[in-house]
């Protein structure tokens, strides 16, 4: 059995004990497609990428052959790449302002497609990090609702090298306040903790595929 498959099975057995539905996104950024194929053959459907350009070269053909694959854009989205992102991805986790929301709306209308969206929150209020400021959330949520975008919930990347508990707790409260059903948080180092704070989409890379070069 390929190591990535045994790693995925191990993670699934951990989260299944929590008795709730959790989607595991296998974050495949930087890994070549031959590294990912064993998981695809195994039947895993949810995969994440950080960069549109890399995803286009890796996934365009495979997604035609395997329409069940659900591709998640989890990295920062540049406005000049939104057209390609909307075509390729099924989920976009990194919507962080009105401009990106409007561009997604325009592009998906052109091709009659509805992308599932998470609004990224800068929960640690870090100046170098992408995401909505808490005070801007109301405006962006209402704007997305007016455009009838398919917003599932919020997403966050807590500050590194700190205990993420306080940030996961805030995100859980935010999601509840806005009555969202899904929450995208938790990575290889903290997915079990994130799932305890109602995360429903876990973005796990190195714990599945091994360390990156």
pLDDT digits (tens, 9 = 90+) for 38-56: 999 999 999 999 999 999 9
For residue 71, the model assigns a pLDDT of 98
pLDDT band at 76 (very low <50, low <70, confident <90, very high): very high
pLDDT band at 18 (very low <50, low <70, confident <90, very high): confident
For residue 66, the model assigns a pLDDT of 95
C-alpha pair distances (Å), 68 with each of 40, 45, 95, 210? 10, 6, 24, 25
For residue 141, which phi and psi values (nearest 5 degrees)? -60, -45
pLDDT band at 17 (very low <50, low <70, confident <90, very high): confident
pTM of the model: 0.96
For residue 211, the model assigns a pLDDT of 86
**Quick check: 212 pLDDT over 80?**
no
Taking the C-alpha atoms of residue 173 and residue 206, their distance in angstroms, rounded to an integer, is: 28
Average pLDDT of 61-74? Answer: 96
For residue 144, the model assigns a pLDDT of 98
For residue 106, the model assigns a pLDDT of 98
Task: Please count the residues of the chain.
Answer: 213
- Of 63, 44, 60, whose CA–CA distance to 52 is shortest? 60
**Quick check: 173 pLDDT over 80?**
yes
pLDDT band at 213 (very low <50, low <70, confident <90, very high): low
For residue 182, the model assigns a pLDDT of 97
Taking the alpha carbons at both ends of the chain, their separation in whole angstroms is 23
CATH number for the domain running over 3-209: 3.20.20.10
**Quick check: 19 pLDDT over 70?**
no
Q: Where are the domains of the chain?
A: 3-209
3-state secondary structure of 74: coil
**Quick check: 7 pLDDT over 80?**
yes
C-alpha pair distances (Å), 37 with each of 43, 66, 115, 163, 207? 10, 12, 24, 34, 17
Taking the C-alpha atoms of residue 198 and residue 175, their distance in angstroms, rounded to an integer, is: 9
For residue 121, the model assigns a pLDDT of 98
pLDDT tens, position by position, 92-130: 999 999 999 999 999 999 999 999 999 999 999 999 999
C-alpha pair distances (Å), 150 with each of 13, 27, 122, 153, 183? 30, 22, 21, 9, 14
- Of 32, 10, 21, whose CA–CA distance to 182 is shortest? 21
For residue 60, the model assigns a pLDDT of 96
pLDDT band at 172 (very low <50, low <70, confident <90, very high): very high
- Of 131, 16, 9, whose CA–CA distance to 26 is shortest? 9
């Amino acid at each position: 059995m390929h190591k990535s498959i045994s790693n995925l099975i191990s993670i699934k057995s951990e989260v299944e004990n929590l008795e709730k539905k959790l989607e595991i996104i296998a974050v495949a950024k930087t890994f070549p497609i031959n590294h990912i194929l064993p998981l695809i053959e195994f039947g895993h459907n949810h995969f994440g990428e950080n960069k549109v350009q890399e995803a286009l070269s890796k996934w365009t053909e495979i997604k035609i052959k395997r329409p069940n694959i659900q591709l998640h854009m989890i990295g920062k989205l540049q406005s000049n790449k939104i057209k390609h992102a909307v075509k390729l991805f099924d989920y976009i986790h990194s919507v962080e302002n009105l401009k990106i929301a409007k561009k997604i709306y325009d592009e998906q209308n052109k091709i009659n497609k509805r992308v599932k969206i998470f609004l990224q929150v800068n929960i640690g209020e870090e100046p170098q990090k992408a995401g909505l400021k808490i005070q801007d959330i109301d405006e962006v949520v209402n704007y997305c609702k007016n455009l009838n975008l398919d917003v599932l919930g919020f997403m966050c990347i807590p500050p590194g090298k700190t205990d993420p508990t306080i940030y996961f707790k805030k995100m859980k409260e935010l999601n509840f306040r806005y009555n969202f059903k899904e929450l995208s948080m938790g990575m290889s180092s903290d997915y079990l903790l994130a799932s305890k704070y109602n995360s429903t989409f876990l973005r796990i890379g190195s714990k599945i595929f091994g360390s990156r070069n």
